[in-house]
């Protein structure tokens, strides 16, 4: 009788048989990956070639390639929005895990900052348009239009599982992803060479950093006809340089969302339990101990002050640089030590958590884990190079000791934080407690039921229940008794996630906006030589910066789902 009354779980739609479309899925993916690989290699060649003055590749060539790629990507996006999704049964499924609101919100925020950067860049190049190539002024305008169209496209279509125009959609998504990666590489190379040029200028060495000096001053190679001499031009110049980190993060955010869309092309979904419930932010803040947010905000404010002091004192040079490095390393050692301990405590709390692991297929989570592990390798490499330089180099002083401690803690923090985040992402959502949430099966514990009287009752009255000695009721009684401890663990996990989130934000701000203790501290430069150490830092540090922002996104998801 109870089986007739209790509503059963909704049955998932039957999986379609593997026809020709499913057989060709790997072939379609292979075709799009080959297209992306060739375009990306071409972009890498031009971008890296334009970074050196001895190579006859100019920044105008790079701008022309990027502009062409953005125009082609925009054409495909418009075709997708106006033609593909309007076909019948084009999007039969939508992936609930893809494109969460905080990821799309971050994309919009970074997109707005990128638009401001493009305005500054257009104003900068327009200040001396009479001696500039037209592509330099056209490029930021096209990029602004590209950011607007792509942001709208990802906002409305990030969850789509497209089932029409499969190969065209895969190739279009991969080409758009490659365009974002090319924009990211161009920004990273430009910023890295600018840092190298600043270091070379401060050491009276003009053999490094040709691209940044030529591009930012607007000079053709070997010429000085275009000088940024007016105050407005200098404001535009400094403005768009400091907005580069937002452009870099926008391109990476868009790339991750496009990859998930690419994985979802032709995908069949069945109704399975997942992380689809998103509580309101107000209720989440009420269910914390506030220790994590308060301590995280305190470290965030102190970190901003340390970053400002570091930038001011390092620019002054002399003995102030050493003092700035001591302050910088001391703060980072404290911050990294606390985040390591907090991440370790979160993993220990999970040892007592009864929530089951979520083993359902989730391309978004798989990508998050891969990006966290892959991006951490960049900071691992820098840290191990620093450890070798400090241990094998001479002399051993306070700065060398701080550098060694910083490198060791950086490795430990990345390791334990990754363990905590990855385990959190694989945990199932917290189940509703039996004593607080009414069950959807009314009166399921009644032994005898008058059906005529039962259907006239809107719901069961809150009368005391008799607990029978059945195993199910015994487990329910144990769950009711252990509910307060479970609630306490969830509050601790939310505090931990918020604390780690705020710490990763400040650890992203420092290197993203120009803090380079790797060059101010001469231990590694003297040990490896400037050329080798600059290559190591300029290759690995962008991955370390991306790791921090991606960790922020993952920790926000952990916080909401805890």
Note whether residue 539 is domain-resident: yes
The pLDDT value recorded for residue 196 is 67
Same domain, 287 and 379: yes
Most confident of 282-296, 419-433, 486-500: 486-500
Say yes or no to pLDDT of 137 above 70.
Answer: yes
Specify the higher pLDDT residue, 538 or 360: 538
**Long-range contact set of residues 136-144: C-beta below 8 Å, sequence gap at least 24:** 136/59, 136/60, 136/63, 136/218, 138/63, 138/67, 139/63, 139/66, 139/67, 142/67, 142/70, 142/71, 143/66, 143/67, 143/70, 143/114, 143/118, 143/183, 144/114, 144/115, 144/118, 144/119
Note whether residue 49 is domain-resident: yes
Q: Are 399 and 322 in contact (CB under 8 A)?
A: yes
Same domain, 234 and 359: no
Note whether residue 437 is domain-resident: no
The pLDDT value recorded for residue 192 is 75
pLDDT tens, residue by residue, 61-82: 889 999 999 999 999 999 999 9
The pLDDT value recorded for residue 8 is 40
pLDDT tens, residue by residue, 29-73: 888 899 999 999 999 888 888 776 666 677 888 899 999 999 999
Say yes or no to pLDDT of 463 above 60.
Answer: no
12-26, 68-82, 370-384, 406-420 — which is least confidently predicted?
12-26
Same domain, 35 and 95: yes
Q: Are 161 and 235 in contact (CB under 8 A)?
A: no
Same domain, 263 and 287: no
Q: Tokens for 48?
A: 């890296």
The pLDDT value recorded for residue 198 is 66
Specify the higher pLDDT residue, 288 or 217: 288
Give DSSP secondary structure letters for 314-373: HHH-THHHHHHHHHHHHHHHHHHHHHHHHHHHHHHHHTT--PPB--S--HHHHHHHHHHH
Give the bridge partners for 357, in sequence order: 427
123/184 Cα distance (integer angstroms):
21
The pLDDT value recorded for residue 470 is 52
Number of structural domains, the chain? Answer: 2
51/65 Cα distance (integer angstroms):
15
Q: Are 271 and 10 in contact (CB under 8 A)?
A: yes
pTM for this entry: 0.74
Q: Tokens for 13?
A: 């739609």
Radius of gyration in angstroms for the set of CA atoms belonging to the chain, rounded to a whole number: 28
Same domain, 190 and 76: yes
Q: How many residues does the chain have?
A: 562
Q: Tokens for 275?
A: 């992380």
97-101, 250-254, 519-523 — which is least confidently predicted?
97-101
Say yes or no to pLDDT of 476 above 60.
Answer: no
Say yes or no to pLDDT of 271 above 70.
Answer: no
Count of other CB atoms within 10 angstroms of residue 366: 13
Specify the higher pLDDT residue, 71 or 471: 71
pLDDT tens, residue by residue, 162-210: 888 888 999 999 999 999 999 998 988 887 776 666 666 666 543 333 3
Same domain, 260 and 384: no
Note whether residue 358 is domain-resident: yes
528/522 Cα distance (integer angstroms):
10
Of 164, 146, 185, the C-alpha closest to 85 is: 164
The pLDDT value recorded for residue 199 is 63
Same domain, 254 and 343: no
Average pLDDT of 209-236?
54
Which residue segment(s) compose the domain that 319 sits in? Answer: 283-429+474-561
The pLDDT value recorded for residue 437 is 41
Note whether residue 444 is domain-resident: no
How much of the chain, in percent, has pLDDT values that exceed 70?
A: 72
Same domain, 253 and 123: yes
User: Which string of b and e fits 145-171 if b means at least 16 CB within 10 Å?
Assistant: ebbebbbebbbebbbbbbbbbbbbbbb
Domain boundary among 238, 267, 296: 267
Domain boundary among 241, 267, 293: 267
Of 201, 238, 231, 199, the C-alpha closest to 216 is: 238
Note whether residue 303 is domain-resident: yes
Same domain, 301 and 255: no
pLDDT tens, residue by residue, 416-447: 999 999 888 887 666 534 344 444 444 444 34
Specify the higher pLDDT residue, 562 or 35: 35
Q: What mean pLDDT is reported for the chain?
A: 77
For residue 457, count CB atoms less than 10 angstroms from its CB and return exposed for 0-12, middle for 13-18, buried for 19 or more. exposed
Same domain, 256 and 391: no
Same domain, 330 and 257: no
Domain boundary among 240, 267, 294: 267
Same domain, 399 and 545: yes
Say yes or no to pLDDT of 252 above 60.
Answer: yes
């Amino acid at each position: 009788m109870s089986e007739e009354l209790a509503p059963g779980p909704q049955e998932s739609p039957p999986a379609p048989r593997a026809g020709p479309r499913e057989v060709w899925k790997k072939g379609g993916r292979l075709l799009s990956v080959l297209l992306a690989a060739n375009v990306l290699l071409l972009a890498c060649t031009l971008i890296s070639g334009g970074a050196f003055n001895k190579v006859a590749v100019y920044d105008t060539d790079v701008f022309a390639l990027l502009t062409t790629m953005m125009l082609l990507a925009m054409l495909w996006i418009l075709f997708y929005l106006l033609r593909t999704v309007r076909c019948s049964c084009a999007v039969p499924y939508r992936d609930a895990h893809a494109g969460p609101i905080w990821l799309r919100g971050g994309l919009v925020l970074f997109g707005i900052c990128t638009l401001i950067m493009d305005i500054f860049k257009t104003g900068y190049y327009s200040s001396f348009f009479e001696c500039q190539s037209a592509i330099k002024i056209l490029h930021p305008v096209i990029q602004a239009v590209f950011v607007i169209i792509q942001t709208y496209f990802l906002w409305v279509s990030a969850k789509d599982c497209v089932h029409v125009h499969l190969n065209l959609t895969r190739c279009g998504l991969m080409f758009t992803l490659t365009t974002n990666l090319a924009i990211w590489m161009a920004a990273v190379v430009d910023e890295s060479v600018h840092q190298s040029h600043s270091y070379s200028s401060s050491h009276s060495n003009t053999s490094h950093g040709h691209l940044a000096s030529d591009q930012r001053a607007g000079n053709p190679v070997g010429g000085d006809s275009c000088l940024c001499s007016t105050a407005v031009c200098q404001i535009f110049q400094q403005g768009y340089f400091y907005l580069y980190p937002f452009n870099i993060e926008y391109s990476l955010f868009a790339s991750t969302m496009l990859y998930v869309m690419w994985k979802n092309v032709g995908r069949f979904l069945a109704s399975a339990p997942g992380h689809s419930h998103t509580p309101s932010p107000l209720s989440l803040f009420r269910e914390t101990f506030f220790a994590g947010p308060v301590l995280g905000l305190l470290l965030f404010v102190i970190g901003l002050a340390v970053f400002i002091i570091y930038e001011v004192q390092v620019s002054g040079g002399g003995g102030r640089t050493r003092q700035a490095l001591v302050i910088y390393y001391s703060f980072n050692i404290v911050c990294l030590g606390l985040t390591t301990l907090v991440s370790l405590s979160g993993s220990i709390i999970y040892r007592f958590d009864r929530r089951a692991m979520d083993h359902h297929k989730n391309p978004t989570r798989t990508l998050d884990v891969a990006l966290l592990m892959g991006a951490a390798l960049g900071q691992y490499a820098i840290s191990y190079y620093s450890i070798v330089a400090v241990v094998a180099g001479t002399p051993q002083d306070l700065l060398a000791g701080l550098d060694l401690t910083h490198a060791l803690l950086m490795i430990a923090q990345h390791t334990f934080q990754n363990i905590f985040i990855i385990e959190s992402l694989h945990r199932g959502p917290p189940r509703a407690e039996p004593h607080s949430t009414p069950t959807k099966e009314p009166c399921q514990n009644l032994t005898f039921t008058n059906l005529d009287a039962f259907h006239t009752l809107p719901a069961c009255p809150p009368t005391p229940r008799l607990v029978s000695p059945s195993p199910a009721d015994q487990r329910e009684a144990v769950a009711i008794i252990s509910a307060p401890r479970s609630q306490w663990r969830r509050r601790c996990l939310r505090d931990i996630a918020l604390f780690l989130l705020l710490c990763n934000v400040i650890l992203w701000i420092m290197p993203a906006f120009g803090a380079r203790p790797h060059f101010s501290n001469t231990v590694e430069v003297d040990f490896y030589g400037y050329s080798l150490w600059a290559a190591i830092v300029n290759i690995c540090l962008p991955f370390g910066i991306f790791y921090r922002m991606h960790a922020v996104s993952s920790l926000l998801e952990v916080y909401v789902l805890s």
